[in-house]
Chain A
């Protein structure tokens, strides 16, 4: 059980990293980080981005469930 959950968790983790990297980065680095100017971010997100968001949320949920599940299995 623990092994299966571990494998599941590793797969979802790698997927999560890839999905996040697929997103277009918002914000422009460090100068933006601590009191740069006000960055204007107009223009809505495209259909691709919106679908990517949905997939990311679903995978994120699975990842989270995996984390909690494995913790419980290892504890019990």
Chain B
């Protein structure tokens, strides 16, 4: 396995790609610590040292690798792009024109990507305005801190900050696309990976400072175990055998092979977790913006804002299970797969082609998604359990969403490097 790493660096083009990716990642991290002009960096630093804990912006802060609370140039991070991808993805179900574009193939997908990018800029303007509006009043962005984060709140200054943050988001988008184009792996997911992984060391260290060496080692051990378990489940798949009939086209014989349709246990990836947590932020956002003291607002802030409340956990888990089924239904269409198989003369042994095949696929899919959905819900709840057991902060380093994303992106990138390596030799990282 180590020799494979050596091989990866000995192959000239792969080495170039890896170094390119690493340097873009470094650039991204560098931009994440540069404060936006107009923000008092010393005050922000004091505030963050005073008050620990995620609060309202916990998840978004996780995705931006701590850049959000520092109000850096890249404060919004990759979040606007994720949100806009989610919106476009959901709209393909609703708007017929988008669905037509999606079915059109490559050119249609390119148009959709372009829409996603426009929407990203729009969302970035919205989010940066919101973020600065919150940060303007002392003590709202980072609770319990009365130092002014933005000392000079004249409108020119505010406008400049909004424009700079929006431009920062577009730069991030471009960096991600550069990685996709010329580096290894998918740029956007690698940037998310970078910002999440960047938080790990300092969070681990803060556990050691707060709870001592034993808890630190224990957390490390649990983390490694969880990673191993996540890798195990992520790789798990059911292989439905497919036999292709032999046929002659002209003078050439096609088919006659037997392959399989891989159906992963966790077909949906981490997207359900992201959907569910973004949805659960809406009530608390609402309460925060309206600042109302009515009965419903009090109920929400009592039950749905704190991560360790039973109602919150139950709602979170239910939403994850729901979105897992929802997303699998969007991405895997049994009718289409059955139709394609019929077209090319393929069949599942023992099952007739056409509708019975599609019904069979649907049956297998819905059965295998059940453990997948439960697994996602369980992994996502680990940090909340840790919150109860340890009393650690909510951004527990080996938290569910973070681990799922890091492992998912890591596996994916390793597979891509391997496939490029196999153009030269057949030995890879993953057996």
Residues of A within 8 A of B (CB): 3, 6, 9-10, 12-14, 16-17, 20-21, 23-36, 38-39, 41, 45, 56, 60, 63, 67-68, 70-71, 74
Which residues of chain A come closer than 8 Å to B121, judged between CB atoms?
A: 17, 21
- Interface contact A29-B112, CB-CB below 8 Å: yes
B110 on interface, CB distance cutoff 8 Å: yes
In-complex Cβ contact of A34 among B38, B157, B176, B405 (8 A): B405
Identify the stretch in B18-26, B183-191, B346-354 within 8 Å (CB) of chain A at 4 or more residues.
B183-191
Given A20-B174, A27-B187; A38-B415 close (CB under 8 Å)? yes
CB pair A29 B89 closer than 8 Å: yes
Surface stretch bound by A, among B134-142, B158-166, B307-315, B385-393? B158-166
Q: Is B113 an interface residue (CB 8 A)?
A: yes
Asked if B233 is at the interface (CB within 8 A of a chain A CB), the reply is: no
Tell which of B37, B38, B186 has the most Cβ of chain A within 10 Å. Answer: B37
A11 to chain B, nearest CB (A): 9
Residues on A with C-beta less than 8 A from B269 are: 34-35
Given contacts A9-B163, A17-B167, contact A38 B174 (CB under 8 A): no
Complex contact A10–B163 (CB within 8 A): yes
Report whether B186 and A27 are in contact in the complex, using a CB–CB cutoff of 8 Å. Answer: yes
Which residues of chain A are near B419, meaning CB under 8 Å? Answer: 38
The answer to the question of B381 belonging to the interface, with a C-beta cut-off of 8 Å to chain A, is no
Are the CB atoms of A9 and B405 closer together than 8 Å?
A: no
CA distance A67 to B160 in the complex (A): 10
Chain B residues with CB under 8 Å of A56's CB are 174
The residue in chain B whose Cβ has the minimal distance to the Cβ of A32 is B186
Contacts of A25 in B (CB 8 A): 110, 113-114, 116-117, 177
In the complex with contacts A16-B171, A21-B117, A68-B34 CB distance below 8 A: yes
Q: Is the CB of A9 within 8 A of B160?
A: yes
Assess the B159–A30 pair: CB atoms within 8 A: no
Per the bound structure, the CA–CA distance linking A25 and B116 in Å amounts to 9
* A29 and B116 form a contact (CB under 8 A): yes
List residues of B (114-134) whose CB comes within 8 Å of A's CBs. 114, 116-118, 121
Most chain A CB atoms below 10 A, which of B177, B270, B411, B415: B177
Q: Among the listed B34, B82, B117, B164, which residue makes an inter-chain contact with A33, where contact means beta carbons less than 8 Å apart?
A: B82
Complex Cα gap A58–B408 (Å): 35
Interchain CA distance A31-B267 in the complex, whole Å: 11
Which chain B positions have C-beta within 8 A of A45? 181
Q: Is B103 an interface residue (CB 8 A)?
A: no
Which residue from B73, B88, B174, B270 sits with its C-beta under 8 Å from A29? B88
CA distance A20 to B113 in the complex (A): 13
Q: Is the CB of B156 within 8 A of A3?
A: yes
Contact A27 B118 (CB under 8 A): no
Q: List 29 A-B contacts (CB under 8 A).
A: A3-B156, A6-B160, A9-B37, A9-B163, A10-B159, A10-B163, A13-B164, A14-B163, A16-B170, A17-B121, A17-B170, A20-B171, A20-B173, A25-B117, A27-B186, A30-B86, A32-B186, A33-B85, A33-B188, A34-B271, A34-B405, A35-B269, A35-B408, A38-B419, A39-B180, A39-B186, A45-B181, A67-B73, A70-B160
> Which parts of B388-431 form the interface with A (CB within 8 Å)?
405, 408-409, 411-412, 415-416, 419
- Residues of the B chain whose Cβ atoms lie less than 8 Å from the Cβ of A31: 89, 331
- Nearest CB on A from B26, distance (A): 14
In angstroms, Cα B187 to Cα A28, docked, is: 11
Question: How distant is A26 from chain B, measured CB to nearest CB, in Å?
Answer: 4
Contact between chains at B170 and A21 (CB < 8 Å): yes
Contact A29 B163 (CB under 8 A): no
Chain A residue numbers with a CB within 8 Å of B408 are: 34-35
Once the chains are docked, how many angstroms separate the CA of A70 from the CA of B409?
37
Chain A residues near B340 (CB, 8 Å)? Answer: none
Given A21-B121, A67-B36, 10 more contacts at CB 8 Å? A6-B157, A17-B170, A26-B113, A28-B112, A29-B85, A29-B112, A34-B271, A34-B408, A45-B181, A71-B35
Contact residues, B46-75 vs A (CB, 8 A): 73
Complex CA gap A30/B3 in Å reads 34
> Which residues on the A side are within 8 Å of B405 (C-beta)?
34
How far apart are A5's CB and chain B's nearest CB, in angstroms?
Answer: 8
| B109 interface residue per 8 A CB criterion | yes
C-alpha spacing A14/B125, complex, angstroms: 12
